[in-house]
Structure 1
Amino acid sequence: MPLITLQDVDYSVGGPLLLEGVTLAIEPGERIALIGRNGAGKSTLLKLLAGELKPDDGEVRVEGGIRIARLEQEVPAGAQGDVFDVVAGGLGELGTWLAEFHHLSHADQVDVAALAKVQARIEAGHGWSLEQRVTETLTRLGLDGDATFSGLSGGLKRRVLLARALVSAPDLLLLDEPTNHLDIAAIDWLEGFLKGWAGALVFVTHDRRFLRALATRIVEIDRGQVSSWPGDWANYERRREERLNAQAQENARFDKVLAQEEAWIRQGIKARRTRDEGRVRRLEAMRNERGQRRELAGNVRMEVAQGEASGKKVIEAKNVSFGYGTVPVIRDFSTTILRGDRIGLVGANGSGKTTLLKLLLGEMAPTSGEVKLGSNLQAAYFDQYRATLREDWNAIENVAEGRESVTINGRQKHVVGYLQDFLFTPERARAPITRLSGGERNRLLLARLFAQPSNLLVMDEPTNDLDVETLELLEELLADYPGTLLLVSHDRDFLDNVVTSTLVMEGDGTVGEYVGGYSDWLRQRPHPAAAAAAAPKAPLAAKPEPAAAPAKRKLGYKDARELEQLPARIEALEARLADMAGQMNDPAFYQRESAAILAHNAAIADLQAELDAAYARWAELDG
């Protein structure tokens, strides 16, 4: 039986419905990736599932007794106190008493009367087992309950908030951009943790590798409509392309017929005494249908304002060291960055990536060694914390700073038209940026950044909150950028697709330099065990280095025949899965007997297992 069911749900924030006629069921144990363009309504749908918003129309049915917890996209500004306090807050009022008991019992001088009063309240609420759950959750996530929440890094704050969501032992966990501000090691940890999570999971993420590793079903929000796609990301991309092509062909056919009817009506009564009133009514209906069509959202059109070419040698570092007191951050590091290089910086939060950037850009002086900057450098900086945006200005003012136009590669563009290239309507461009979503703020930062002539781009976590289409366009733009790029990112796919070499903060002040992106580093780096034996370094946690691929074996007749037939079999299984999932989107599906619904879900699970086995066999035979 579904944990939660949305039936014909509508929700609006003014203007066209943000969500229209949404029908969706979430089953126990499944992991759903919720995708869609920025502003499509993903966070809104999570809030509807959590019961924080009520639909304008339709019904949200929640199975009796289930617990739902949600991890928000941004760290809440009001979260205060020790880590124990914040985590225990996920238990409501009883959690508040547990936090109070924790403080009183750990005080230098115990207030016996106050402690007894709190103990009585906890005992009345049968809360001691919950205190144990808080302690176990903190241990499980490697958190210090006595640490001050406000003093933690962004990544650790996200981990504390995840603990707060988990401590209530939810049957359904809702995660909104859980990888934001996490380093690669923490993202790997979170992937593994969620793979072992027994409850149901609905998550929104921009991290494509994270999505592929976890999702058992993909739910897309597109122009107010919700569609469900069983299986993995590759299956979704293929099926979505087929659907969009079919829609485009159908719309083209409809528009052709409508144009013919419009031409007919304009002929007036020439060559006929009376009009065909039935045909007139059909034309009116077609006009109404065309007026209600919601077009696919456009893509961002990004172009970087290029500065004059820099010198061939952009940055040269020789034997650079830097530390805080006796703690080394950078030790004896040398590199040469040439014009056109695209350098990725990888490392744990707090490992010194920002310090290394400032040393390379000449904003900080090294303790020893030297950094030489090349000639004619024009740097543009993308700040992951969006500190370069003025909160008292709107989008237009933040980009144009009082001017009416911006100049991009010698061409003047009105600032409103320029912002429309980044999917800002004139209304959104004039709205206070305090009303913009995280994805809109990131697009605004990109618009501001790319309006500055540059030959050196410095980008610190530019991918947070961007939708997949914008991410892919940004990748293409950076790949074609003729200048030099310094990129800090924890998005493994983005690094693989953009950078030409990688600087890795390997601990103890060591900076490793590797050719290629993140996956290339995994293949090239010393094996962690060998590195630990060679020197007392603390390498960045990552997945074990994959074993060398065995030589491709020659298949026998039977296996070769099976390999030849597998693609058709996989295609047929995917088609059956898509058909059965489509039946679940029909409101009438949930009017069946519960036994029939359970049998349908079991059949889908069997089909998915059969499809997974077919893919595994294909990989085995084709390996």
Structure 2
Amino acid sequence: MSLLSLLDVDFSIGGPLLLEHVSLTVEAGERIALIGRNGAGKSTLMRLVAGELKPDDGEVRVAGGVRIARLEQEVPAGASGSVFDVVAEGLGELGTWLADFHRISHAAEFDAEAMTAVQARLDAAGGWDADRRVAETLERLGLDGEAVFARLSGGMKRRVLLARALVSAPDVLLLDEPTNHLDIEAIDWLEGFLKGWQGSLVFITHDRRFLRALATRIVEIDRGRLTSWPGDWANYQRRREERLNAEAQENARFDKLLAQEEVWIRQGIKARRTRDEGRVRRLEAMRVERRARREQTGNVRMDLAQGEASGKKVVEAKEVTLGFGERILVRDFTAKIMRGDRIGLIGPNGSGKTTLLKGLLGDLAPLAGEIVQGSNLQIAYFDQYRATLREDWNALDNVSEGREFVEVGGRRKHVLGYLQDFLFTPERARAPITRLSGGERNRLLLAKLFAQPSNLLVMDEPTNDLDVETLELLEELLGEYPGTLLLVSHDRDFLDNVVTSTLVMEGGGRVGEYVGGYSDWLRQRPAADPGPPAATRAEPAAPPAAAPAPAARKLSYKDARELEALPARIEALEARMAELTAQMNEPAFYQRDGAAIAAHSAEVAALQADLDAAYARWEALERPA
């Protein structure tokens, strides 16, 4: 049964149509993966389906009684209150009354008059069924309704927003990059949950394994048009290549014929008068058709600026302990990283991956043990928070830093031409960086990184917001990189395709070392090991409905007070981190002397270590006995 249809829809945001004569039908029980290049219009199409945008032409038709809910890509800035409050918002005004009832009933001082008023509204609207639905949704997703939303990790906030979307019992659920900023355990949980969900699903993702596991159909947006494919990723890639080849051949045939006709028309007025006037009209039509053709967006062309060879030994760690005071994130870690190694770091958010990286790079001194770096290291760092991009500079300035040319791949390139390799038009390269999308910012950060000579490449979540084609090109480039690679990623396919060994945060400060990528680690880990243990920022698996609640852990008075104070401490640390990051983005920051900039960077590193330690301690205190 068709739940909704787009009928010959056009939509533009100035300039050429972003979506042109688009038609799409969503059937009951379908799971549709929406794919396409960055900027192709995927999120726009979702917003049209959700009714948040109106088409310029055509019609979006929704069957009677069909409910649609959308999980947006970013956490809304205005979301606040308890988890119960945020989830209840999915019910509209009725949810607001439920949230009021919930707050009044849990308040320290009972307000009888307010309670009577809100109960009357709920009685009249049949709100108690909705209250039960909120409670069931919270239980189903393993959420604590009393928790403060603002104090949750990014991944847990995404789970709460999923609950808010689900509480309205939608027939169609729209998910925009649901795996962004989730760790591997959380992605596995979400994948399993959605497989068991009975409604229809339309989702955008760059995670190919997530796509292969869920999609029953693949819908591609390319140059404003939609094409539909069965949910088989390998078949889609093969058939798409065949289609593009056929299109290229047809365009070449057309262009050759057009060139011949242009030669004929240039033979002169006399020749045209003595020939078929219909041919002139056909030529005019061909010119119109050629002007209307929309060329396929080019692929990113990536080259790395190679540094000198490093020493054979890049980094050696001997019995290293890292953390903050008595809060240990890495304990007794010993490893030797050699030139050419490609190492992936796996673990839940907050488990200490960043702390381990900073220790290996010399940005964080160990509490015990020794870290020795090899000779002649040239380090290039990809920061998932894009803190290395200056907001007061445009894309061109961020890469050039005053230079006119860059050396990449053994060739000297003009900076503007180099940026065109990363799909930045001259106009886009000179536009304020604040106007760039998430995908464009990631491409810009890659351009900046690859223009920097290096022999040790450190990449922290480089795949967020990149389209699949760019991801695959990045994989190829990293495969050919002659230096050493340290990679933090939650993209399972990316890890499998790039790294040759993995370091896994196994909890309690333990770091396990395994040969191969993510899938290899799955085969090698101990049979009883269910995966990387959940740190506070990771999402625990949703408990079975019939499972008894675990017994509360009995804490000492001192530990109980510490646990009570930790959320406020974490909030203060994160606020200070945001403040320091904002200062780094101010134009005046880089006008300071070198010592002040170094001190600022040292404070950021120490603050990150404090945050990791605080999250680890919170997880340890909250873990059931």
TM-score using structure 1 length: 0.83
* Shift in CA distance, 277/96, structure 1 to aligned 2, threshold 3 Å: same
Quote the Cα distance in structure 2 between the aligned partners of 1:536 and 1:60.
Answer: 42
More displaced, 413-422 or 439-448?
Answer: 413-422
Matched, 1:162 2:162: yes
Specify whether residues 72 and 220 from structure 1 end up closer, same or farther in structure 2 by C-alpha distance, changes over 3 A only: same
Are residue 506 (structure 1) and residue 506 (structure 2) matched?
yes
CA–CA distance in 2 between the matches of 1:450 and 1:444? 10
Distance in 2, Cα, partners of 1:274 & 1:16: 39
Who is 2:186 aligned against?
186
Asked if the contact 2:350–2:535 (Cα under 8 Å) also holds between the matched residues in 1, the reply is: no
Assess, with a 3 A threshold, how the Cα gap between structure 1 residues 392 and 91 changes in structure 2: closer, same or farther: farther
SS in structure 1 opposite 2:446?
helix
CA RMSD of aligned residues (A): 2.3
Deviations 1:562-585 (A, max 9, x none): xxxxxxxxxxxxxxxxxxxxxxxx
8 Å CA contact retained: 2:322, 2:330: yes
- Equivalent in the alignment of 1:302: 302
* Paired AA for residue 319 in structure 2: N
Q: Secondary structure at the match of 1:391?
A: coil
Q: Distance in 1 between matches of 2:61 and 2:358?
A: 53
Partner Cα distance (2:540, 2:314) in 1: 31
Q: Are 1:67 and 2:67 matched, yes or no?
A: yes
Q: Deviation per CA, 1:521-554: give whole Å up to 9, x if none.
A: 111111126999xx9999x9999xxxxxxxxxxx
Distance 1:118 1:403 in 2: 65
Over 3 Å counting, the alpha-carbon distance change for 1:428 and 1:123 in structure 2 is: farther
- Per the TM alignment, residue 222 of structure 1 is displaced from its structure 2 partner at its CA by 0.5
| Structure 1 segment 110-259 matched on structure 2, within 5 A | 110-259=110-259
Letter in 1 for 2:197: W
Deviations 1:287-312 (A, max 9, x none): 11111111111000111112221111
Q: Could you tell me how far apart the structure 1 residues matched to 2:531 and 2:465 are?
A: 35
Instruction: Supply the AA of the counterpart residue of 2:262.
Output: E
| 1:283-302 mapped onto 2 (5 Å cutoff) | 283-302=283-302
Could you tell me which residue of structure 2 aligns to residue 41 of structure 1? 41
Counterpart residue number, 2:267: 267
**Mean Cα deviation higher: 91-100 or 33-42:** 91-100
Which ranges in structure 1 are unaligned for 5 or more consecutive residues?
544-623
Q: Decide which moves more: 3-12 or 269-278.
A: 269-278
For structure 1, which segment, 394-403 or 167-176, has the greater mean C-alpha deviation from structure 2 after superposition? Answer: 394-403
Q: Does 1:318 pair with 2:321?
A: no
| 1:269–1:275 CA contact under 8 A, matched in 2 | no
Question: 1:549 corresponds to which residue?
Answer: none
- Inter-CA distance 179–272: structure 2 relative to 1 (3 Å threshold): closer
Classify 1:313/1:173 alpha carbon distance in 2 versus 1 (closer, same or farther; 3 Å).
Answer: same
Paired amino acid for 2:132: Q
Give 1:442 shift: 1.0
Counterpart contact for 1:206–1:467, Cα < 8 Å: yes
The equivalent residue for 1:346 is 346
Q: How does 1:552-571 map to 2 (within 5 A)?
A: none
| Residues 1:76 and 1:537: Cα distance change in structure 2 (over 3 Å) | closer
1:494, distance to aligned residue in structure 2 (A): 0.3
Shift of 1:327: 4.0
Q: Over residues 472-498 of structure 1, what are the superposed CA-to-partner deviations in whole Å (9 max), with x where a residue is unaligned? A: 000000011111111000101000000
The answer to which of 223-232 and 48-57 deviates more is: 223-232
- Other-structure match for 1:15: 15
SS in 1 for 2:2: coil
Q: Following the alignment from structure 2 to structure 1, what is the Cα–Cα distance between the partners of residues 388 and 535?
A: 36
Secondary structure of the residue aligned to 1:48 is helix
1:270: Cα distance to partner? 7.0
Cα gap change, 1:530/1:98 in structure 2, threshold over 3 Å: closer, same or farther? closer
Give aligned-pair identity as a percent.
78
- In 2, distance between residues paired with 1:378 and 1:113? 69
For 1:92, the equivalent position in structure 2 comes to 92
CA shift, 1:400, in A, is: 2.2
Please give the secondary structure, in 2, of the residue aligned with 1:462. Answer: coil
Secondary structure at the counterpart of residue 302 of structure 1: coil
Which residue of structure 2 aligns with residue 430 of structure 1?
430
Determine whether 1:329 maps to 2:332. no
Letter in 2 for 1:331: R
Contact 1:500 1:517 in 2 (8 A): yes
Instruction: State the TM-score, normalizing by the size of structure 2.
Output: 0.83
Does structure 2 conserve the Cα–Cα contact (< 8 Å) formed by 1:475 and 1:498? Answer: yes
Confirm or deny: 8 A CA contact 1:347 1:506 kept in the other structure.
yes
Q: Distance in 1 between the 2:534 and 2:492 partners?
A: 26
SS, match of residue 180 in structure 1: coil
**CA distance in 2: counterparts of 1:243 and 1:143, whole angstroms:** 46
Q: Does 1:367 align with 2:403?
A: no
Alignment CA distance shift 1:146-1:402 (3 Å) = farther
> Is structure 2 residue 396 aligned with structure 1 residue 396?
yes
Q: Write the distance in 1 (CA, Å) between the matches of 2:531 and 2:221.
A: 46
Match of 2:25 in 1: 25
**Structure 1: distance between partners of 2:491 and 2:265:** 56
Per-residue CA deviations over 1:311-344 (Å, capped at 9, x if unaligned) read 1111100011123454431111100001111110
Partners of 1:423 and 1:508 lie apart in 2 by: 44
Structure-2 separation of matches of 1:239 and 1:128: 52
1:511, CA displacement in angstroms? 0.6
Contact 1:206–1:465, Cα closer than 8 Å, also in 2: yes
Aligned residues of 1:32 and 1:215 also touching (Cα < 8 A): yes
Supply the AA of the counterpart residue of 1:200.
Answer: S
Match of 1:357 in 2: 357
| Cα separation, partners in 2 of 1:100 and 1:402, compared to 1, 3 Å | farther
Summarize deviations over 1:152-194 as a string: whole Å, max 9, x none.
2221111111111111111000000000011111111111100
Partner in structure 1 of residue 562 of structure 2? none
- Whichever residue aligns with residue 33 of structure 1, its letter is A
User: Structure 2: 5+ residue runs without aligned partners?
Assistant: 542-625
Task: Find the aligned partners of 2:531 and 2:152 in 1 and give their Cα distance.
Answer: 29
Shift of 1:205: 0.3
SS of residue in 2 equivalent to 1:3: strand
